[in-house]
């Protein structure tokens, strides 16, 4: 504001100067102009350009958040990249983007790498999702226990149908270097290796399409792909694929991934979604982070079937006076 006043005053004062003095003032005029140009280039929380990378498992949700943010703020231009979790983190580290959306925080080695460049990324938890197991609707599998899933991932796995027939399950994983594979490696396998029966096709959408056409196959994907019951992919596959309910170790209750099972903690494979940035607090990256973590962004997650990290308070007033009934 101070610079704006100074430049306005300078223009008024310049009008009273003799013509021969105008040339000497060009440098000062250029300085004022460059000030505002740099201001725009550096952007603000609701204007400018931004590059956002996100994990492929969050594609449907990240794309909707970005579209809505751009629609609300006309001076925002976001370039997005749907990639793997590892590539998103690497892009943030290499200055290829200013913000990322992934389903975990940085591990110790990643933090040290960022700190070596004097980067200290900030982040906000924005939603809860989970690892979903899907199979063809014709697969005679009613559910899996958490301990059975470890066997499914590390060895050939067979189950018996209602007639006692032994059936071998094939396993599909969504995408190389995906957040799903990282989660299974770190939190389920605990350094054990995937069996030779586990295969990767190339993308979550290809995985869903393969399961829809082939029974006796179980695929591990991010629940975010199927969380929205009104989404075109969910509607197209509602009669072709089904979610597999899972029991936690020590429990006999089979639960599906859902907002309620994430809220109660009954689903075993829950993950937190984060928006992460390494820029300052008065930048477009911070504005996008605040939007996704704010009321409008949280409502978008709620409507698309994920559990928002922050839920609006509901004030209920209870009057204890007797009702006047006539």
Per-residue confidence of the chain (326 residues) as pLDDT tens digits?
444 444 444 445 545 555 544 444 444 444 444 444 444 345 899 999 999 999 999 999 999 999 999 999 999 999 999 999 999 999 999 999 999 999 999 999 999 999 999 999 999 999 999 999 999 999 999 999 999 999 999 999 998 787 778 899 999 999 888 999 999 999 999 989 999 999 998 899 999 999 999 999 999 999 999 999 999 999 999 999 999 999 998 889 999 999 999 999 999 999 999 999 998 899 999 999 999 999 999 999 999 999 999 875 554 555 666 666 55
Q: How far apart are alpha carbons 53 and 259 in whole angstroms?
A: 25
Q: Are the C-beta atoms of 78 and 288 separated by less than 8 Å? A: yes
Predicted pLDDT at 161: 80
Tell me the backbone φ, ψ of residue 264, rounded to 5 degrees: -85, -15
For residue 270, is it left (φ>0), alpha (ψ between -120 and 50) or beta? beta
pLDDT of residue 20: 45
Give me the torsion for CA of 157, 161, 167, 172, rounded to 10°.
-60
Strand partners, 53: 81, 100
Instruction: Answer whether 268's CB lies under 8 Å from 262's CB.
Output: no
pLDDT of residue 163: 77
pTM: 0.82
Cα dihedral angle (194, 187, 175, 216), rounded to 10 degrees?
Answer: 60
CA torsion, ordered 48, 54, 57, 61, to nearest 10 deg: -20
The residue behind tokens 């590892």 is: 86
Distance of CA 280 to the CA centre of its chain: 21
Count of C-beta atoms within a 10 Å radius of residue 161 = 13
Token pair 């004030």 is found at 315
Reported as half-sphere exposure (CB side, CA atoms, 13 A), residue 303 has a value of 10
Contacting residues for 275 by C-beta, under 8 A, at least 6 apart: 99, 100, 101, 123, 124, 126, 288, 289, 292, 293
d(CA 176, CA 202): 7
């Amino acid at each position: 504001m101070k610079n704006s006043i100074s430049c306005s005053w300078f223009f008024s004062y310049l009008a009273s100067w003799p013509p021969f003095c105008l040339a000497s003032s060009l440098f000062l005029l250029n300085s004022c102009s460059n000030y505002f140009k740099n201001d725009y280039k550096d952007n603000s929380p609701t204007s400018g350009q931004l590059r956002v990378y996100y994990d492929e498992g969050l594609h449907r949700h990240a794309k909707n958040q970005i579209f809505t943010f751009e629609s609300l703020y006309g001076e925002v231009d976001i370039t997005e990249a749907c990639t793997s979790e590892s590539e998103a983190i690497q892009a943030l580290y290499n200055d290829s983007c200013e913000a990322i959306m992934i389903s975990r925080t940085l591990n110790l080695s990643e933090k040290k790498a960022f700190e070596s460049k004097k980067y200290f990324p900030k982040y906000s938890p924005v939603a809860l999702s989970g690892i979903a197991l899907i199979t063809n609707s014709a697969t005679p599998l009613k559910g899996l226990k958490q301990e059975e899933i470890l066997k499914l991932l590390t060895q050939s796995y067979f189950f018996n149908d209602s007639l006692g027939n032994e059936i071998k399950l094939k396993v599909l994983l969504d995408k190389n270097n995906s957040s799903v594979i990282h989660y299974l490696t770190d939190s389920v396998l605990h350094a054990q290796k995937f069996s030779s029966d586990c295969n990767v096709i190339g993308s979550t959408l290809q995985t869903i399409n393969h399961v829809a056409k082939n029974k006796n196959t179980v695929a591990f994907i991010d629940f975010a792909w199927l969380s929205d019951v009104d989404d075109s992919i969910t509607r197209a596959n509602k009669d072709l694929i089904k979610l597999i309910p899972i029991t936690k170790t020590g429990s006999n209750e089979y639960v599906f991934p859902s907002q309620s099972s994430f809220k109660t903690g009954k689903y075993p494979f829950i993950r937190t979604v984060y928006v992460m940035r390494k820029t300052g607090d008065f930048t477009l990256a911070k504005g996008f982070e605040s939007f996704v973590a704010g009321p409008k962004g949280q409502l978008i997650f709620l409507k698309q079937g994920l559990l928002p990290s922050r839920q609006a308070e509901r004030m209920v007033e209870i009057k204890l006076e007797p009702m006047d009934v006539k």
